[in-house]
């Protein structure tokens, strides 16, 4: 079976699907990937300790975890097959000292389903979402290492967040708005550290990265990156940076780990 890469996606709010550029970038990216046996998502929008496993039924429900958007965004459906076998494998990969709980009624949030509606619009690949049990980068790196064997079984692991997410500090809410200085500076720093394989600096981004804390006044949207990096055979390897640029002035930088 083909070993799948792992991705970190800047998933955006639901209106990002109206961006022809982002949609074309994501469609092209997914078309270049091997077809996964299943998709596993760790999203910025589900923090829960201990590690929780979401719904495994076919036609997993969606969580419309946002407000203030046109009605059409609340009518999106994504009836993907469930992934109960994958859920069992994940539970088996976790150490006995770290409990795993089941949340069978917890559906896919927009950090999961929004990009999947673009990448796999036929909703014919099993999808599972697990919670992000911590915001500590080191612990998330270790979680990624635990999940690494799933890549050898054809599972596409996606950490879904946003490379910058300083929503309270945006003054221009147009999609084409120029990036504020704090967003551009943080994104440039992250790009350089990823290109250099500088894992130590990335793990310490709260102290070392320019643009903080404005780029991430809360860090849940950067945190999924470390799950993705942890799935690499060498977490300090230089990932492929597939998508860059800005939307609402926020950095869309997204990467692929081989």
* Tens digit of each residue's pLDDT (9 = 90 or more) over 143-174: 999 999 999 999 999 999 999 999 999 999 89
CATH of domain 6-257: 3.40.830.10
Distances from the Cα of 55 to the Cα of 43, 126, 180, 215, angstroms? 14, 11, 38, 32
Residue 105: CB atoms within 10 A of its CB come to 9
Tracing tokens 């509606």 back to the chain, one arrives at 117
Region of poorest pLDDT, from 20-24, 52-56, 123-127, 235-239: 235-239
Q: What average pLDDT does the segment 73-94 reach?
A: 95
Please state, in angstroms and rounded to a whole number, the distance separating the CA atoms of residues 254 and 16. Answer: 14
- The vertex-52 CA angle with 51 and 54, nearest 5°, equals 150
Question: What contacts 24+ positions apart, CB below 8 Å, involve 111-114?
Answer: 111/11, 111/41, 111/43, 111/44, 111/45, 111/46, 111/160, 111/161, 112/41, 112/43, 112/158, 112/160, 113/62, 113/76, 113/78, 114/11, 114/12, 114/13, 114/14, 114/16, 114/17
* Per-residue confidence (pLDDT) for residue 97, from 0 to 100: 82
Please, is 152 exposed, middle or buried when counting C-beta atoms within 10 Å of its C-beta (0-12, 13-18, 19+)?
exposed
Contact 30, 7 (CB under 8 A): no
CA distance 190 to 153: 30
pLDDT of residue 40: 98
Taking residues 242-257, report their average pLDDT.
96
CA–CA separation, 163 and 157 (whole Å): 17
Pair of tokens at residue 132:
């992000």
Q: Is the pLDDT of residue 88 over 80?
A: yes
Cα separation, 63 vs 214, whole angstroms: 27
Residue with tokens 């950490």: 159
Dihedrals phi, psi of 200, to nearest 5 degrees: -60, -45
Q: Beta strand pairing status for 38-47 and 240-243?
A: unpaired
With contact defined as beta carbons under 8 Å apart, do 176 and 16 qualify? Answer: no
pLDDT at 96: 86
At a CB cut-off of 8 Å and minimum separation 6, what does 97 contact? none
Q: And the tokens for 173?
A: 């809410």
Residue 18 to residues 94, 180, 198, 251, Cα–Cα distance (Å): 38, 22, 34, 17
**For the residues 39-64, what does the mean pLDDT come to?**
95
pLDDT in the model for residue 12: 67
């Amino acid at each position: 079976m083909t070993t799948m890469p792992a991705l970190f996606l800047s998933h955006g709010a639901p209106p990002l699907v109206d961006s022809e550029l982002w949609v074309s970038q994501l469609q092209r990216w997914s078309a270049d990937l091997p077809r996964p046996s299943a998709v596993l998502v760790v999203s910025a929008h589900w923090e829960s300790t201990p590690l929780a496993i979401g719904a495994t039924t076919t036609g997993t429900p969606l969580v419309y975890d946002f407000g203030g958007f046109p009605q059409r965004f609340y009518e999106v459906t994504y009836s993907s097959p469930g992934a109960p076998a994958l859920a069992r494998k994940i539970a088996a990969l976790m150490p006995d000292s770290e409990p795993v709980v089941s949340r069978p009624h917890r559906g896919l949030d927009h950090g999961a389903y929004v990009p999947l509606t673009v990448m796999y619009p036929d909703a014919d690949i099993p999808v599972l979402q697990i919670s992000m049990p911590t915001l500590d980068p080191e612990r998330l790196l270790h979680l990624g290492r635990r999940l690494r064997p799933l890549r050898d079984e054809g599972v596409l692991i996606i950490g879904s967040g946003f490379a910058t997410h300083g929503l309270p500090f945006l003054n221009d809410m147009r999609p084409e708005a120029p990036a504020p200085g704090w967003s551009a500076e943080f994104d440039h720093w992250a790009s350089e550290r990823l290109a250099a394989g500088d894992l130590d600096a990335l793990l310490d981004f709260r102290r070392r990265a320019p643009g903080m804390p404005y780029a991430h006044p809360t860090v849940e949207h950067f945190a999924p990156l470390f799950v993705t990096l942890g799935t690499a055979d060498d977490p300090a390897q230089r990932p492929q940076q597939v998508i860059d640029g800005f939307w609402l002035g926020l950095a869309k930088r997204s990467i692929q780990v081989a």
